[in-house]
Structure 1
Amino acid sequence: MDFIEIIKAIILGMVEGLTEFAPVSSTGHMIIVDDMWLKSEEFLTKYVANTFKVVIQLGSILASVIVFRERFIDLLGLNRIFNKNKVVSVNNGGHLNLLHVIVGLIPAGILGVLFEDYIDEHLFSIETVAIGLILGAFLMIAADKFGGKRPTVNSLDEITYKHALIIGLVQCFSLWPGFSRSGATISGGVLFGLNHRTAADFTFIMAVPIMAGASFISLLKNWQYFTIDALPFFIAGFISAFIFALISIRFFLKLINKVKLVPFAIYRIIVAVIIILLYF
């Protein structure tokens, strides 16, 4: 594996890290950067390239765990081990717990298991990703127009099980490639009373177990592709994804309450148009 291929791994990790948690669809960006330009499958086999994409996703997951480490310590009940005080709401005495996260994961988790093969075989195409980008953009515009004006939930500890379930149901849209998990769930949260930052926080926390679970299953299926030759490529991509996801998450969380979702929606439409023009 030569130096140029390592640079390509770093670029792909950067794309994954910058787009995985922003509501812009990492799938759409991977199509533009990898399928149209870098073409990783030309120097890696298809299976190794797909395994690499799982590895860099793990880098993004680790970044989210680092950013929300205190919340995860609290959710897992590890406060005593790490000598941390529980994070409790100053507003109503409520407290975000692991059950909120589980409730939010159930709808998409069930549908994902039931329709995984169908989605992989029939929905992963340039056309469906472009459609997902545009439909997700419309949902985000609707969220800013009809929700978020006077949010009633302004912290994670004010989220109820009902909110978690509604966000989980809206997350089901993200099973359509290009729709974007974070775009769907943040929009769902905003539409039903959460402010943008709280919806983003819950989205990123909820993403960790579902992404980690999917990645773990993929790694088990593709473990044989972790060869010595491919290892530098995997390591470079993982580190790149971790660093850029760390930057992206922190920047996005500072920005989201100010700019809302519409600028990201416009950007998604532009990406969809680029994909359509380049492919069709």
Structure 2
Amino acid sequence: MDIVLLLKATIMGVVEGLTEFLPISSTGHLILAGALLGFDDAKAKVFDIAIQTGAIFAVILVYWQRIRDTLVQLPTQRQAQRFALNVLIGFFPAVLLGLLLGKAIKAHLFTPTVVASTFILGGFIILWAERRQQQAVRIQSVDDMGAWDALKVGLVQCLAMVPGTSRSGATIIGGMLLGLSRKAATDYSFFLAIPTLIGAGAYSLYKERALLSATDVPLFAVGLVFSFISAWLCVRWLLRYISSHSFVPFAYYRIVFGVVVLLTAWTGMVRWVE
């Protein structure tokens, strides 16, 4: 296996893990990083989706106690059944719209210009959501959510099909706008990520299996490992961070980063691959 290719896989894995659960768009960062690294062919797009599984393993590890308790209590405890049902309800819209629109979106919207524009727009939405947060909270914990709350967050998650929007950003900020506390929205976003990203990764690998071979195993393994490690560190940090901080810094990061990408593209300083 080419050492340079493995190094690119390492970088992409770290980018995925650090950005997947922050409201700054992992897909957007992967598109931009892939453009700079020249790692953006058809196989690379499958790689980008597959290594999300490594990030999900990190969430499972961090939340293992809650996941295990839910599975054990599922046959008998109504609260566990309600929690599991809410995750499935939130997951369903992404499955439906992904099957209907996923191919068209990948064909037309996976470009650096679209990513930069949605970065900027998303930043302003985060600023708006944080301004409303103090007076809008009605759900303090994921256990207080009803089926209708789960469905609404699931519908908002579908906005993340547009690259640069951010799946975690859509669910966390969307959840806050819908009345969830910052902690409840973040927890639900993490739990919702488990079936969503595992499903997307498995489906992508199956659909594009003709592009892959046994020689790709080291490439994908490196990406998964580094995605897992960086995501584990990031999730643990984020859960501490939100206990006493807002998402405003991420909003400014999105706006500045998006403007930089647009300016460098328009001036020709960086050749972002379209």
Do both proteins adopt the same fold according to a TM-score greater than 0.5, normalized to the shorter chain? yes
Percentage of matched positions with identical amino acids: 38
**TM-score (norm. length: structure 2):** 0.88
| Residue 78 in structure 1 maps to residue 99 in structure 2 | no
Query: Which runs of structure 1 show a deviation greater than 6 angstroms over 4 or more consecutive aligned residues?
Result: 85-88
Q: Look up the SS of the partner of 2:215 in the other structure.
A: coil
Distance 2:258 2:136 in 1: 31
2:94–2:154 CA contact under 8 A, matched in 1: yes
2:31–2:110 CA contact under 8 A, matched in 1: no
Aligned-pair CA distance for 1:149: 4.2
Tell me what 2:272 maps to: none
Q: Look up the SS of the partner of 1:258 in the other structure.
A: coil
Aligned-pair CA distance for 1:196: 0.7
1:74–1:87 CA contact under 8 A, matched in 2: no
Tell me what 1:91 maps to: none
Q: Look up the SS of the partner of 1:259 in the other structure.
A: coil
Return 5+ residue gaps in structure 1 as ranges. Answer: 89-93
Distance 2:165 2:264 in 1: 20
Distance 1:124 1:24 in 2: 16
Find 2:48's aligned residue among 50, 53, 56: 53
Tell me what 2:168 maps to: 182
Distance 2:228 2:95 in 1: 25
1:195–1:257 CA contact under 8 A, matched in 2: no
Q: Look up the SS of the partner of 1:40 in the other structure.
A: coil
Distance 1:102 1:148 in 2: 29
Return 5+ residue gaps in structure 2 as ranges. Answer: 267-274
Tell me what 1:30 maps to: 30
Distance 2:77 2:233 in 1: 26
Aligned-pair CA distance for 1:8: 1.9
- CA RMSD between the two structures: 2.4
Tell me what 1:123 maps to: 109
Distance 1:231 1:34 in 2: 19
**TM-score (norm. length: structure 1):** 0.86
1:104–1:165 CA contact under 8 A, matched in 2: yes
Distance 1:123 1:226 in 2: 24
Find 2:208's aligned residue among 222, 226, 231: 222
Distance 2:171 2:34 in 1: 26
Tell me what 2:59 maps to: 64
